Copies of this chain bind each other. A is one copy, B any other.
């Protein structure tokens, strides 16, 4: 049985109990959220060593870190190192988006080591090494089946991409920038057929249900620049995703909905609220949103701005964006910076949403800071190594820092 089916029967699973321990809700309340499709626990029965977490309404904002090889950068070892760093700095899940080297081996190595839920986009593998026109429907479903039976906890399926989207995407400045969405659109255009993940969505549900794999209904048409934000292609897909989410829920399959993308600041609240309305409050998983196109090299910052605002308005799950977005595959350092920026965004939103545990963290840091107790401060902050290095660099001997020296405002009063 899936967590959704268990919840619907009024039962609290051990996964719900474990996940609720880190949340502002009880296990019983979490069960209700899951039964209503407002929260998910991505936990494949075959993923050994997994520490279950929940994603959804009113819960702590979660952060995902994307890992994965590319044809030009295909070391499994490097990706494992990235996972370690990502989890250390607070990633709640990782996704293996490998499209280079031995894809199966990388995925299995990540799954073996991961205590956090692992997600993938199986159709990448279906398209791997083939000409787009040669990919068969069977290739796609086989990839999905393989990932699900390997123990993957959640998979992105771009089931909202349909033939009807083609003319809408052609009107755009940046077209389709989702890797999966663009592959499927090209496949549709080549073969003149409908997207199999859309047409045969029931089959997707059947496979996912077997091992309780959570579906992440992908936004293959997410806007790739500010000009394309909240356009007809994006909204047409969102409406489809809402309907597919309903079908998943009916069949007892856990589902979340993916969202944009590049969105200007003033449209973020509207985007989140529209998603929640059209998708019956299913968990919302956003990439960014990135609030300006002009800052490649700094998209961990452009997305932290958008992500904080999105999470405050109700997005439940933030996919990190690293400084190397739009430029290259991230390095280990990029992964670290991406995770920390997304964690800052999620945490800032959790404070704003009134999560007491989130607020307590800040108060603890500030109490230590007020006392100029550096040891305690370093223990508590998001990145003790960086904070320590900054202080060390200044070679100061007193308790104050080099910003104000003896004029330190924290001393006295």
Contacts and interface: CB of A to CB of B under 8 A. Distances in A.
Interface in A368-413: 369-370, 377, 380-383, 386-387, 390-391, 393-396, 401-407, 409-410, 412-413
A353 to B, nearest CB: 8
Interface string A285-302: 000000111111110111
A183 interface: yes
Contacts of A404: 70, 99, 179
Q: Counting chain B CB atoms within 10 Å of each CB, which of A100, A179, A296 scores highest?
A: A296
Interface of A: 70-73, 99-100, 124, 127, 169-170, 173-179, 181-183, 185-186, 189, 224-227, 264-267, 291-298, 300-302, 304-305, 308-309, 312, 323-329, 331, 340-341, 344-345, 347-349, 351-353, 359, 361-363, 365-367, 369-370, 377, 380-383, 386-387, 390-391, 393-396, 401-407, 409-410, 412-413
A329 B363 contact: no
A322 to B, nearest CB: 10
Nearest to A309: B309
B407 A186 contact: no
17 contacts: A71-B407, A100-B405, A176-B409, A266-B312, A266-B352, A292-B348, A293-B366, A295-B383, A297-B386, A297-B390, A298-B383, A301-B340, A304-B304, A323-B386, A327-B387, A328-B403, A329-B402
B344 A410 contact: no
Q: Counting chain B CB atoms within 10 Å of each CB, which of A300, A359, A401, A413 scores highest?
A: A413
B326 A70 contact: no
A410 B370 contact: no
A233 to B, nearest CB: 11
A370 to B, nearest CB: 5
A173 B225 CA distance: 43
B72 A124 contact: no
A168 to B, nearest CB: 12
A231 to B, nearest CB: 13
How many copies, total? Answer: 2
A265 B344 contact: no
A340 B369 CA distance: 27
A72 B328 contact: no
Nearest to A175: B413
Contacts of A177: 409-410
Contacts of A291: 308, 348, 351-352
Contact of A294 (B323, B352, B382): B382
Contact of A366 (B178, B226, B412): B226
Nearest to A99: B407
A363 B265 contact: no
A410 B341 contact: no
Contacts of A323: 386, 390
Nearest to A177: B409
Q: Counting chain B CB atoms within 10 Å of each CB, which of A297, A325, A403 scores highest?
A: A403
B413 A296 contact: no
A368 to B, nearest CB: 10
B179 A390 contact: no
A370 B226 contact: no
A366 B229 CA distance: 12
Contacts of A298: 340-341, 344, 382-383, 386
A403 B70 contact: yes
Given A173-B363, A413-B186, A390 B324 contact: yes
Contacts of A348: 264-265, 291-292, 302, 305
A362 B227 contact: yes
Contacts of A127: 407
Contacts of A169: 413
Contacts of A370: 173-175, 225
Q: Counting chain B CB atoms within 10 Å of each CB, which of A100, A227, A348 scores highest?
A: A348
A100 B407 CA distance: 10
